[in-house]
Structure formats: C-alpha cells, structure tokens
C-alpha cells in the first residue's frame, strides 16, 4: 500500500499531499461510529509502521512531481500520533517542506501527553477532533480504548493551546441522535471558548460510515453552531437545503454577523437571493469585512 496519497484539493487547507503512517491496516485507539474506514477494535499502536527514511523519501519524490502542493498532511489509516517515530519524522519533514505547511489530523487522544504536545508544536497546523463535551457521549460516539478520558483530552487541548502559536483547528462531527442535541453543543461551546482554537469546523457524515448511523442536515448544523457563539465556526457539509433565511433586512444581517461570523459558503447556502444582495450592499458600505483564518474567509460585522 502507498504511503503518499493525493494531492487532493481541500477547501479548508488548500492543495494537500497526504502521508498515511499506517498504510497496511487501520490502527486507531478509537472506533468511531462515523469512521470512513472499516470497523475495527481500538488498538494502542501501529503494527509494522513505515520507517522515517521511507516516508521522507516518498514525500521528497512527490514534492518534485507536484509543485503546487500547499500543505503536507500527516494522517493515518487510524491515528497518526500512534506512529512511534513521529518526533523524528516531523523534524525531517520540516527540513524538506520548503514553503509548504505541515498539518496533522489527530483524534486528540494523546494531546494531554507533554511529549506529544512538544512534537505537535513543531507543526504549522494542528487539527484535533472533539465531538462531545460529556464522557457519556464520547464513549458512545468515538468508542475509545478504556484508558482514554475526555476530561484529560480537554485539559490537554487547553494546555496545548497555551504553548502552541500555530493554527489550531478543532473539528466536531455531528451524528444524528447522538451528539446533535442543543445541550451537548452548549457544553461544547463552553469548553471550546476555554480552549480558544483559531477555527472550529463543524461537519457531519459525508461518506459511508463504519456503522449504521446517519448525518444531520446543514440547517441543523447551523442551528447547533449557534451555541458556539464567539468562535470562528465553519460548517462543512454536503447535506444542505437552501434559503434558511429569506428577506433579511440589513439590520438583521448585521445582527447575525455580530453574533456569528459566516463564510461565503454559509451565505450562499442559507440566504435567499435578496438577502445575498443585501450582504453585497453592506460590503460596499464597509459595514461588514472579511477576515481569513487558514484557507477560510469569514465575513463579520465591522467594528466601526
Ligand atoms: S479517530 Fe478517525 S480513524 Fe479513528 S475511528 Fe475515529 S474516525 Fe476512524
């Protein structure tokens, strides 16, 4: 199996070259209901991991072929922080990455470990998952190894944020009937405001999941994300309807943007044509402005 995949375009991070640190088997310490890989018992190590030399050589070759790559993404058929030589690998990738950004996609299970925090702090972008704010929901949805506690993960994220100057993104994946309750999101909002990530990506199931679970609608994601006020939230979903908001006045749009910055995509999905025209007018009047977080542009109310 190949260690390198892509490049694939990622709307949130740019053109991404993927590194799979567990190319032979799924190796994860979670067994999430929504996983896109096959169901598998959680494990605490990657069996037969590729050597650092092999990974670096393949990345070097790929970078010579694909000159437009913007981000090198460390991932696994499972959890990449289980890779035993992660520290050495990140040092080597930092030497050869040129102007590309180095990103890891992790389930955050080891973020409370000081050594893992030190290693991840060498990356340009760290994306961690946090689907639930309560242990009950976490156990039901992410089905981790028994030794993993949500409280430790949350504390680890707070500590990591304090020492990490790079781009910290937290991803929340919503599954119908499990973590799609307002109360769960209200608690998540409290926790996330303490962690202070640069961005929160809220999404739902997009591809066939490991178990029999269902996505929620774009509108539901939007309603839930209102509990995450004060945070730059993006909604990542293909399950959208249209025209959640119709005939909004300028004041209503400004009020909405003051509470929750929206992406251009949100506006295209949620606003009817007339309300979208109002947004363009507000932009011309400089009552709203654009800010960029990673590869994502938000529209928010101007402070003046
Ligand atoms: S953490 Fe990721 S790889 Fe592991 S089970 Fe969950 S979705 Fe799958």
> Residue 246 belongs to what domain range?
242-304
* Co-location of 198 and 273 in the same domain: no
**Is residue 55 pLDDT above 80, yes or no?**
yes
* Co-location of 150 and 283 in the same domain: no
| C-alpha 210 – ligand 1 centre gap (Å) | 10
* Co-location of 288 and 146 in the same domain: no
**Ligand 1 atom with least separation from CA of 34:** 7
Specify the pLDDT at position 304. Answer: 62
CA contacts within 13 A on the Cβ side of 139: 8
Of 240, 264, 296, the residue at which a domain comes to its end is: 240
- Measured CA to CA, the distance from residue 222 to residue 242 in angstroms comes to 12
Specify the pLDDT at position 241. Answer: 58
Total domain count for the chain? 2
Work out the mean pLDDT of the chain and round it to a whole number.
92
Mutate to test the pocket of ligand 1, among 140, 142, 204 (most ligand atoms within 8 A of CB): 142
Could you read off the pLDDT of 127-165 as tens digits, one per residue?
999 999 999 999 999 999 999 999 999 999 999 999 999
> Which is more confidently placed, 256 or 148?
148
* Co-location of 236 and 252 in the same domain: no
Q: 254: Cβ below 6 Å to ligand 1? A: no
Specify the pLDDT at position 240. Answer: 58
Percent of the chain with pLDDT over 90: 72
**Is residue 57 pLDDT above 90, yes or no?**
yes
Q: 141: Cβ below 6 Å to ligand 1? A: no
Could you read off the pLDDT of 71-106 as tens digits, one per residue?
999 998 899 999 999 999 999 999 999 999 999 999
Could you read off the pLDDT of 183-211 as tens digits, one per residue?
999 999 999 999 999 999 999 987 778 89
Confidence of residue 175 (pLDDT cuts 50, 70, 90): very high
* Co-location of 200 and 301 in the same domain: no
Q: 35: Cβ below 6 Å to ligand 1? A: yes
Closest residue to atom 3 of ligand 1, CA basis: 78
Looking up residue 256, the CATH number of its domain turns out to be 1.10.10
Q: 52: Cβ below 6 Å to ligand 1? A: no
The predicted model gives 35-61 an average pLDDT of 94
**Is residue 293 pLDDT above 80, yes or no?**
no
> Which pTM does this prediction carry?
0.87
The predicted model gives 9-22 an average pLDDT of 88
Q: Which of the residue ranges 23-32, 144-153, 195-204, 288-297 would you say has the lowest mean pLDDT?
A: 288-297
- Measured CA to CA, the distance from residue 185 to residue 175 in angstroms comes to 12
Q: 145: Cβ below 6 Å to ligand 1? A: no
Could you read off the pLDDT of 215-242 as tens digits, one per residue?
999 889 999 999 999 999 999 866 655 6
Of 215, 240, 265, the residue at which a domain comes to its end is: 240
* Co-location of 121 and 262 in the same domain: no
Q: 31: Cβ below 6 Å to ligand 1? A: yes
Q: 138: Cβ below 6 Å to ligand 1? A: no
Task: Calculate helix-pair angle for 273-284, 250-259, nearest 10 degrees.
Answer: 80
């Amino acid at each position: 199996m190949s260690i390198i995949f892509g490049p694939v375009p990622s709307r949130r991070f740019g053109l991404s070259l993927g590194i799979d640190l567990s190319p032979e088997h799924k190796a994860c310490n979670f067994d999430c209901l929504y996983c896109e890989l096959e169901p598998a018992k959680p494990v605490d190590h990657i069996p037969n991991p590729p050597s650092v030399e092999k990974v670096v050589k393949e990345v070097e070759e790929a970078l010579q072929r694909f000159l437009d790559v913007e981000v090198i993404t460390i991932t696994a058929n499972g959890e990449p922080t289980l890779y035993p030589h992660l520290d050495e690998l990140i040092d080597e990738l930092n030497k050869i990455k040129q102007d590309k950004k180095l990103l890891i996609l992790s389930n955050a299970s080891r973020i409370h470990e000081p050594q893992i925090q030190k290693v991840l702090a060498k990356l340009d972008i760290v994306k961690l998952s946090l689907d639930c704010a309560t242990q009950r929901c976490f156990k039901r949805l992410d089905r981790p190894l028994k030794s993993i506690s949500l409280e430790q993960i949350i504390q680890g994220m707070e500590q990591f944020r304090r020492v990490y100057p790079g781009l910290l993104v937290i991803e929340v994946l919503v599954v119908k009937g499990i973590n799609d309750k307002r109360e769960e999101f209200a608690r998540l909002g409290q926790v996330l405001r303490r962690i202070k990530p640069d961005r929160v990506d809220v999404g739902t199931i997009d591809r066939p999941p490991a178990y029999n679970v269902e996505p929620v609608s774009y509108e539901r994601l939007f309603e839930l994300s209102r509990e995450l006020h004060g945070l730059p939230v993006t909604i990542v979903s293909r399950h959208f309807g249209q025209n959640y908001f119709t005939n909004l006045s300028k004041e209503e749009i400004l009020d909405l943007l003051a509470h929750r910055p929206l992406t251009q995509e949100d506006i295209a999905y949620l606003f009817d044509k007339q309300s979208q025209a109002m947004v363009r007018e507000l932009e011309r009047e400089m009552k709203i402005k654009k800010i960029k977080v990673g590869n994502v542009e938000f529209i928010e109310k101007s402070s003046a």
